[in-house]
Amino acid sequence: MYRLVMFDMDGVLFDSMPMHAKAWSRTFEGTGLDYEESKVYLYEGMTASAYVAMLFNIGENDPRCREICARKSEILKSLPEPVAMPGAFEALAAVKETGVPAIVVTGSAHTHMLEKLSRAYPGLLKTEWMVSALDVKRGKPNPDPYLAGAKKAGVDPCDAIVVENAPMGVHAAHAAGCRVIAVNTGPLPDSSLLDEGADFLFHSMKELSENIGKIIEMSSELL
Ligand code: MG
């Protein structure tokens, strides 16, 4: 049944969401935007340009949108680099043991983070099948990123399982026809993930690492 595991990056493989939250808040200072930091978790998974376009009610091709995204990217780079999410290495190692390939599907376009993946998780990810914001026109909550990941891997989306921490990411994976494991690593209630169609729910990557092997094995018994 599962022939591919697709991992989201921010809030799943890297403990990066607090940095994104800080960077966005600083970016919006002085813009007059009525902004609350919690929005970053609600809309996590969207590409930066889609997020800014939505908040300011402007087009993604509007020069202001590009300028704001560039500023956010600069601010993010000036903050300390996020660390690997505790338990993520073990979770990827558990997937590797099953023989099922693991890839990353992210709304991020931060190339320095994408490069950091290979250093943090050497040999555990099929980096050539990775999908970032640069690969799709429509980001999460549209199914496109997960459809693109499955396509790159040559796997039917129904045969893939996704690991996500964000409601919009769960929505995207569910809409793509994949099974979804939600790992709630942020401040939102569990219902925000279950309501979008999560099939399994854990509260840490460590907890996931102890169960993902069983979930994959169970699926092969169903064949
Ligand atoms: Mg995420």
The reported pLDDT for the residue numbered 110 is 74
Residues with a catalytic annotation lie at 8, 10
Distance (Å) of CA 196 to CA 171, 173, 184 = 5, 9, 13
Distance (Å) of CA 142 to CA 63, 108, 165 = 24, 15, 16
Q: What is the CA(223)–ligand 1 centre distance, in A?
A: 30
Sign, CA torsion 129/132/138/139: positive
Average pLDDT value for residue range 189-208: 98
Residue 159 near residue 170, CB atoms below 8 Å: no
The reported pLDDT for the residue numbered 220 is 64
> Which residue shows structure tokens 């993930």?
193
Model confidence over 16-33: pLDDT tens digits? 999 999 999 999 998 999
Model confidence over 1-19: pLDDT tens digits? 799 999 999 999 999 999 9
Q: At what angle do helices 205-221 and 88-98 cross, to 10 degrees?
A: 20
The reported pLDDT for the residue numbered 1 is 75
Q: What is the CA(15)–ligand 1 centre distance, in A?
A: 9
> Which residue shows structure tokens 């099939």?
199
183 three-class SS: strand
The reported pLDDT for the residue numbered 193 is 98
Burial class (CB in 10 A: 0-12, 13-18, 19+), 108: buried
The reported pLDDT for the residue numbered 221 is 64
Model confidence over 73-127: pLDDT tens digits? 999 999 998 999 999 999 999 999 999 999 999 988 877 777 899 999 999 999 9
**H helix or E strand, kind and range, residue 103:** strand 102-104
192: pLDDT confidence band, cut at 50, 70 and 90? very high
The reported pLDDT for the residue numbered 18 is 94
Q: How far apart (Å, rounded) are the C-alpha atoms in residues 193 and 65?
A: 29
Q: What is the CA(163)–ligand 1 centre distance, in A?
A: 9
Q: What is the CA(129)–ligand 1 centre distance, in A?
A: 18
Max alpha carbon distance in the chain (Å)?
A: 57
222: pLDDT confidence band, cut at 50, 70 and 90? low
The reported pLDDT for the residue numbered 218 is 83
Residue 25 near residue 123, CB atoms below 8 Å: no
Burial class (CB in 10 A: 0-12, 13-18, 19+), 135: middle
164: pLDDT strictly greater than 80: yes
The 8 Å CB, 24+ separation contacts for 203-206 are: 204/86, 204/87, 205/12, 205/85, 205/86, 205/87, 205/88, 205/90, 205/91, 206/86, 206/87, 206/90
76, 209, 54: which is closest to 141 by C-alpha?
A: 54
Residue % of the chain over a pLDDT of 70: 98
219: pLDDT confidence band, cut at 50, 70 and 90? confident
Q: What is the CA(195)–ligand 1 centre distance, in A?
A: 17
Residue 6 near residue 149, CB atoms below 8 Å: yes
Residue % of the chain over a pLDDT of 90: 87
55: pLDDT confidence band, cut at 50, 70 and 90? very high
Average pLDDT value for residue range 57-73: 96
